[in-house]
Amino acid sequence: MIESATKAFDLILKARIIAILRDVPSGRIVPAARALIDGGVRCLEVTYDAGSAEKSADALKSIAALEKEFGDGIALGAGTVLTPGQVRDAAQAGAAYILSPNTDRAVIRATKESGLLSIPGALTPTEILCAWDWGADAVKIFPASAMGPDYIRAVRSPIRHIPLLAVGGVTPGNTKSYLDAGCAGVGAGGNLVDTGRIAVGDYDAIRALARAFADVTVHARLADG
C-alpha cells in the first residue's frame, strides 16, 4: 500500500487536478469515472457522507469497484474522512490517499499507520503547520473560494515547503490562478462531477468538463517546463 500511496502522490503532483465524486451512487461510479478518465482526469476522490451511514457504506462500495476496474491506472482516494475507523475502511476498500475537510491528528495518524497518503483540510497558517507537523503529505486549503488565490500566495510565502491543494469553488476559469499562486494542484467537485448529468447518463458532458479542467492543468505543466 505504501507503494500505491507513493504512485498516487506522484500522479496527483503531475496531473494537478483531483475529481471529487460526491453523491455518485456505486451503480454509476464506474461509467462516471471512465468519462473523467477519458477527459484527462485520473485522480479521483470518493467521499463519505457525514450525514448518512448508508451513503458512506455505498462510497466504500464505489472505492472497491473503482480499484477493481482501474487499478493503478488511477490515483484513488477517499474524502470527507472524519474518523480513524473511516480511514481503515477506506484503506481496505482500496483507497491510496485520505482527504478531510479538517485537520484531525488522530485521522492523520491512522492514515500514516495504514500506509496511505494524508491530505487533511486547513485554512489558516497555524492549521496548515499543525497538519504538516502531524504527518500530512500535503494540505488541502478549504474552502479556497472564501479566500482566493491571493490569500494562498500570501500564505505560501513563509511556508512554501508545504504542498497545498485548493479545494472549494474551483472552476476551469480559476484553476490557473490557483496554480499560479503556488498550489500543487486543485480539487473540483460539482463544477466537474455534475451529479445531475450523471443521474441521466450524460457522460459526454462529464467527459467535456474533465477535458476543460485537464486542458488548463496541461498548459500549466508545459508553462512550468
CATH number at residue 154: 3.20.20.70
Asked if the structure places residue 181 within a domain, the reply is: yes
From 45, 55, 61, 68, the catalytic residue: 45
Is residue 1 predicted with pLDDT exceeding 70?
no
- The C-alpha cell that represents 21 in the structure block: 465524486
Cell numbers linked to 142:
478549504
Residue 107: inside a domain: yes
Whether 113 is catalytic is: no
Q: For residue 143, report the phi and psi dihedrals to the nearest 5 degrees.
A: -85, 120
Do the domain assignments include residue 153?
yes
Nearest to 43 by CA among 90, 99, 111: 99
Has residue 23 been placed in a domain? yes
Of 2-6, 85-89, 115-119, 159-163, give the lowest mean pLDDT range: 2-6
pLDDT digits (tens, 9 = 90+) for 31-48: 999 999 999 999 999 999
Task: Give residue 224's pLDDT.
Answer: 66
Q: For residue 188, is pLDDT > 60?
A: yes
- Hey, is 167 helix, strand or coil? strand
Domain extent, residue 103, equals: 2-220
CA distances from 129 to 13, 25, 150 (A): 20, 35, 19
pLDDT the model gives residue 5? 87
- As for how many domains the chain has, the answer is 1
13 domain residue, yes or no: yes
**14, 127, 140, 176: which one is catalytic?**
140
Task: Give the per-residue pLDDT at 73.
Answer: 93
69 is catalytic: no
Is 29 inside a domain boundary? yes
In a domain, 167, yes or no: yes
Look at residue 218 in the predicted model and tell me its pLDDT. 79
Cβ burial of 44 (10 Å; 0-12, 13-18, 19+) is: buried
Q: In this structure, is residue 27 part of a structural domain?
A: yes
pLDDT at 102 over 90: yes
Q: Please, which pLDDT band fits residue 221 given cuts at 50, 70 and 90?
A: low
